[in-house]
Each structure stands twice: as C-alpha cells, then as structure tokens.
Copies of this chain bind each other. A is one copy, B any other.
C-alpha cells in the first residue's frame, strides 16, 4: 500500500512537471502528449486527472507553487511600497513570461474564477503589499482593496496575452507593467471627474 502510494505520487509529480513543460511550449497540446512526456500511460494519467480541464488546473497550481518559491525570496517589507511593488511586478512578470503559453492554455480551459482560485497565494502577497502601501500613504485608498488586487492580476495576465498575440514586445512588457501598475495604485493624479 505504501509502495503503491509512493508510485502514485511519483506519477503525479511527473505528470505535473511534464504538463508545465509541454503546455508552456504548446498551449493546445493534448493530454496524450503530456502523458508521453511524463512517461506514463493514458489510463494512469486519466486515473489521476479525469479531464483535460482538471489536468490544466493542476498544472497551473503546480506552476504557481513553483513561482511562489521564487517570489517568496523577495524582500517586499523593507523597501518603500512603490519600490517593493516594482520589484514584485518585475519578478512576477519574469515567471509569468516563461509560462505565457501555459497561461493561454489555462485561459482557454478554465473559467476565470477557477484560474483566480489557483492564484490565492500570490494574490495574498499582492494584497499585503498594497495594504501596507495604503497605510503608508503611498497607494490610493479611494478604491476597494479587492478591486486593486483583482485588477493587478488581470493586467499581468493581459500582458501575457498581448505578448503571445504579438501586440506587445516581450522585452518591453516588464517595464510597461511596472508603469501601468504604478499608475493604478498611486494616489489619484487629478481631482475626480
């Protein structure tokens, strides 16, 4: 029983990592391509992930978790909030950019709410930073915190889609995002309309 469970865990780990690589190269890749890359059979894969949607959801979670390891190493608490935001945006984009095709696969396979659920951990990090910046007067307080967090995620994902569609140069996307999110979060530039 212990050996069977260990086998199952090894297979799942191989499938998730294969899924990350295969779907990052080709967002339209089939479940069978992922099984082949993972070195497991069709029955084994479907035993763990009964549909393409459940596989893509799990691969997104796995990839977000990997990305979390990188982002957890950032010092977002010591620098002024605007600078910490720029650091977080640049690092988040670096990770997302490597997986922008996987993001397209997820966008096509998962409802927006399921994609959002998979980002609970990074969204928590974004929320804490925005909240600190609001307390310190660096960020706007006239819009709901939840709205600013959701818009942050949406703008990052928009950049991934724009790069893949050829409308934004990949090498410009990081700085474009820093400027866009700085504008989103800064106190309003002019009296309200």
Q: Which residues of A contact B (CB under 8 A)?
A: 82-83, 86, 104, 107-108, 111-113, 140, 142-144, 146-147, 150-151, 154-155, 157-158, 161-162, 165, 167-168, 172, 176, 178-180, 182-184, 186-190, 192-193
CA distance A157 to B157 in the complex (A): 13
Instruction: Point out the residues of chain B lying under 8 angstroms from A144, CB to CB.
Output: 168, 172, 176
Instruction: Point out the residues of chain B lying under 8 angstroms from A182, CB to CB.
Output: 188-190, 192-193
Interface contact A161-B193, CB-CB below 8 Å: no
Interface of A is mostly: helix
A31 CB, nearest partner CB in chain B, Å: 18
- Given A142-B179, A143-B179, check contact A167 B193 (CB 8 Å): no
Report the copy number of this chain in the oligomer.
2
Known A146-B167, A182-B193, A183-B184; 20 more pairs at CB < 8 Å: A82-B190, A112-B161, A143-B180, A147-B168, A147-B180, A150-B161, A150-B167, A154-B157, A178-B192, A178-B193, A179-B192, A180-B184, A182-B188, A182-B189, A183-B183, A183-B186, A183-B188, A184-B184, A186-B189, A187-B189
Interface contact A180-B162, CB-CB below 8 Å: no
CA distance A193 to B84 in the complex (A): 10
- Given A151-B180, A154-B158, check contact A165 B113 (CB 8 Å): yes
Instruction: Point out the residues of chain B lying under 8 angstroms from A189, CB to CB.
Output: 182-183, 186-187, 189
